[in-house]
Structure 1
Amino acid sequence: MTEFIPPGTRWFDLASPFPMKRGGALHGARIAYETWGELDASHSNAILIVTGLSPDAHAAANAGDPEPGWWEWMIGPGKPIDTDRWFVACVNSLGSCKGSTGPASINPDTGALYRLDFPELSIEDGADAAAAVVRGLGIQRLACMIGNSMGGMTALALLQRQPGIARSHINISGAARALPFSIAIRSLQREAIRLDPNWDDGNYSDERYPESGMRMARKLGVITYRSALEWDGRFGRVRLDSDRRDDDAFGLEFEVESYLEGHARRFVRHFDPNCYLYLSRSMDWYDLGESCGGTTLQGLAALRIDKALAIGVRTDILFPLQQQEEIAEGLRAGGCDAAFLPLESPQGHDAFLVDAERFGPAVRGFLDEL
């Protein structure tokens, strides 16, 4: 399979061997990242962004790639994350197919793709890799670390494993552990991929790609990324009678079905199925409390950070609001100046990607106070 690498990508070579939490090690591994702005003389104005499952490191346009990024409205001169003030780095997750080493990369020991020979991947492995990039950029302490969705998990793991690496933290629609509902959804997504005959125990090719499995997995994901309120407001019960085919009695009939189908087809050939499986499972395994041998709140209270903001959305069913409230509560128990901000966005889990009106001022206000 092909990796999908933005043209402005830069790479950081991880130490070799790079040990993995659940066993095994990577040799010759690398992490893809992009940057914006300039480090000040003391290297004290750095912000790290760790992402959700599917984004690449191209969060915004820059000199290496002028195309708009997935968080274009958030990052740049005069924007909420103001690159006239901050040096910003965004890393692509270890295990991804967007430039960082993962199952779709070449295994240097065999000369073939890793596929399922890639070591078991944990959120903590992604945190260790991100920390290595930070140190490699000459940054001893971040001004702020921002984690979205899965990146919120990665950020908390990084704070746990690298005490003192950041002065402050913004956790956006993240969590300190996976909940049963989220695990159930991701389990179904992985099952859809694995039951596609073309998956072939991870040995698919471009010609025999598990398209049906990936389509179903993506549709399940998209349904949970938005809210029932938004689905109703955007699509209602509008039908697509003109799109019905006489030879397909159960084909697409409603506009919402057409939206899901189009979204899935744009995704399936642009993300590697094995990478999807590995990253998805890493979220299910994550529990900050287990990592410290205590409860989730005890794990959060043990993190050493000066200031934090946990932002959530009331309509998020995948990372529900109580998880961001738990993060703020646990951090406060450890002495952190931590705030919890529930937002009323109708757009569910994906709101942080599209709701600039609500998320922009929240992020800007926090950073302005640093």
Structure 2
Amino acid sequence: MPDARKYFALSSPFSMKRGGLVHGARLAYETWGTLAPGRDNAILILTGLSPSAHAASNAEDPTPGWWQAMLGADKPIDTDRWFVICVNTLGSCKGSTGPASINPETGETYRLDFPELSLEDAANAAHELVAALGIDRLACLVGNSMGGMTALAYLSLHAGSARSHISISTAPQAQPFAIAIRSLQREAIRLDPNWNQGRYDDEHYPEAGMSIARKLGVITYRSAMEWSGRFARIRLDSEQREDEPFSAEFQIESYLDNHARRFVRSFDPNSYLFLSRASDWFDIAEHGHGRAADALARIDVERALVVGVSTDILFPLSQQEEIAEGLRTAGAEVEFVALDSPQGHDAFLVDIEGFGGAIAPFLGRL
């Protein structure tokens, strides 16, 4: 399979916010387009918890990426104009250093010995990469979901590092509902006997725990409106049902089973735990005087686009409004877009008409 990933070696040792050092760490990233001679046309994309750096197809890897319809020539993020970088977050298992990586000091997999991870660490790592590419100031920093929180940390920690910002379905701080869901996901993994305090292998993999965690996530990534519209109360045909007590009876159950089955072996459980907890820990107020509004008001960008979805229960519109107001207070020219997409939190992945319809004109005015 082709691999378009590039690798950047972070400063070694790389210092972590909550203590600890990582030696020989690297970030996986991909790029599209051409960096202008003035190095002033760069866009950095910071992702949610599980995506890789492969946001779209490119010459090295023609397979579709997770944001294929958004990124490319003549698409909302037009690579004929922009030089686009997408980073796989520090702590992930998609090429960047994380709990699934080898600790060079021991020769063994880090597992739970990986230092406590924060989204500030991910932001600092991404900033090191951008600086190494010779880019003093991004034209735009794009962050969605967890990546949106990382983007706020990036802008807060590195003043003047971007001219503009696109904030998508994210939060200035984790709220109780989102924390509760992620807590249950982590509990499902930890209670799987095969997790074994992080010491699993391919033969003893916490498949049941990861499956439940993924199902919980998928349920909250979409809205009740979409589930009703797609599945209603449609039952499986008799030949599709397993002959055992309490087996899946409805199509929605089968959908969740299939979705989880595709995910569980593609993502490292310990990495999932570390990134999930980092999301819960994030609070932009730590960058101010104990108030999120104060921290947001210190972010230095000229323009911002904040997009949210009315059916998003993980990152509700009220949090998008809080971000928009904070950036306005900071002096940015802010556009706030509230979409009625039925897809909930995942709308930014599938509602290209809605999100692309906001992103393309915003970038066109830069």
Give the TM interval when normalised to the shorter protein: over 0.9
What amino acid is aligned across from residue 10 of structure 2 in structure 1?
L
Q: Which runs of 5+ in 2 are unaligned?
A: none
CA distance in structure 1 between the aligned counterparts of 2:195 and 2:290, rounded to whole angstroms: 38
Q: 45, 55, 69: which one pairs with 1:49?
A: 45
Query: What do the CA deviations read for 1:224-282 (whole angstroms, capped 9, x no partner)?
Result: 00000000000000000422233x12000000000000000000000000000000000
Question: Equivalent residue of 2:252, what SS?
Answer: helix
What amino acid is aligned across from residue 241 of structure 2 in structure 1?
R
Query: What do the CA deviations read for 1:75-98 (whole angstroms, capped 9, x no partner)?
Result: 111100001100000000000000
**Post-superposition shift, 1:63?**
1.4
Q: What is the 5 A alignment of 1:55-70?
A: 55-70=51-66
CA distance in structure 1 between the aligned counterparts of 2:347 and 2:318, rounded to whole angstroms: 16
Counterpart residue number, 2:205: 209
What amino acid is aligned across from residue 142 of structure 1 in structure 2?
L
What amino acid is aligned across from residue 39 of structure 1 in structure 2?
L
Q: 335, 350, 354: which one pairs with 1:354?
A: 350
In the alignment, structure 1 residue 339 sits paired with structure 2 residue 335: yes
What amino acid is aligned across from residue 22 of structure 1 in structure 2?
R
Q: What is the 5 A alignment of 1:239-278?
A: 239-242=235-238, 243-246=240-243, 248-278=244-274
Question: Equivalent residue of 2:229, what SS?
Answer: helix
Q: Which runs of 5+ in 1 are unaligned?
A: none
CA distance in structure 1 between the aligned counterparts of 2:154 and 2:264, rounded to whole angstroms: 30
Aligned length: 365
Would the aligned equivalents of 1:116 and 1:202 in 2 still touch at CA under 8 Å? yes
TM-score (norm 2): 0.99
Q: 162, 167, 170: which one pairs with 1:171?
A: 167
- Going from structure 1 to structure 2, the CA distance change for 1:195 and 1:121 (only over 3 Å counts) comes to same
CA distance in structure 2 between the aligned counterparts of 1:202 and 1:104, rounded to whole angstroms: 10
CA distance in structure 2 between the aligned counterparts of 1:212 and 1:6, rounded to whole angstroms: 31
CA RMSD of aligned residues (A): 0.9
**Post-superposition shift, 1:293?**
2.9
- The percentage of aligned residue pairs carrying the same residue is 67
Counterpart residue number, 1:328: 324
What amino acid is aligned across from residue 335 of structure 1 in structure 2?
G
Question: Equivalent residue of 2:153, what SS?
Answer: helix
What amino acid is aligned across from residue 180 of structure 2 in structure 1?
A
> Where has structure 1 moved over 3 Å in runs of 4 or more?
none
Question: Equivalent residue of 1:361, what SS?
Answer: helix
**Post-superposition shift, 1:6?**
7.0
- Going from structure 1 to structure 2, the CA distance change for 1:233 and 1:77 (only over 3 Å counts) comes to same
Counterpart residue number, 1:318: 314
CA distance in structure 2 between the aligned counterparts of 1:29 and 1:349, rounded to whole angstroms: 31
In the alignment, structure 1 residue 22 sits paired with structure 2 residue 18: yes
CA distance in structure 1 between the aligned counterparts of 2:102 and 2:188, rounded to whole angstroms: 25
In the alignment, structure 1 residue 368 sits paired with structure 2 residue 361: no
What amino acid is aligned across from residue 188 of structure 2 in structure 1?
A
Q: What is the 5 A alignment of 1:293-312?
A: 293-312=289-308
CA distance in structure 1 between the aligned counterparts of 2:60 and 2:180, rounded to whole angstroms: 40
TM-score (norm 1): 0.98
Task: Report the more deviating stretch, 42-51 or 294-303.
Answer: 294-303
Would the aligned equivalents of 1:175 and 1:323 in 2 still touch at CA under 8 Å? yes
**Post-superposition shift, 1:357?**
1.2
Would the aligned equivalents of 2:2 and 2:60 in 1 still touch at CA under 8 Å? no
CA distance in structure 2 between the aligned counterparts of 1:241 and 1:67, rounded to whole angstroms: 34
CA distance in structure 2 between the aligned counterparts of 1:61 and 1:238, rounded to whole angstroms: 36
Task: Report the more deviating stretch, 211-220 or 294-303.
Answer: 294-303
CA distance in structure 2 between the aligned counterparts of 1:290 and 1:138, rounded to whole angstroms: 29
Counterpart residue number, 2:30: 34
Would the aligned equivalents of 1:6 and 1:56 in 2 still touch at CA under 8 Å? no
Would the aligned equivalents of 1:6 and 1:58 in 2 still touch at CA under 8 Å? no
Counterpart residue number, 1:154: 150
Question: Equivalent residue of 1:145, what SS?
Answer: strand
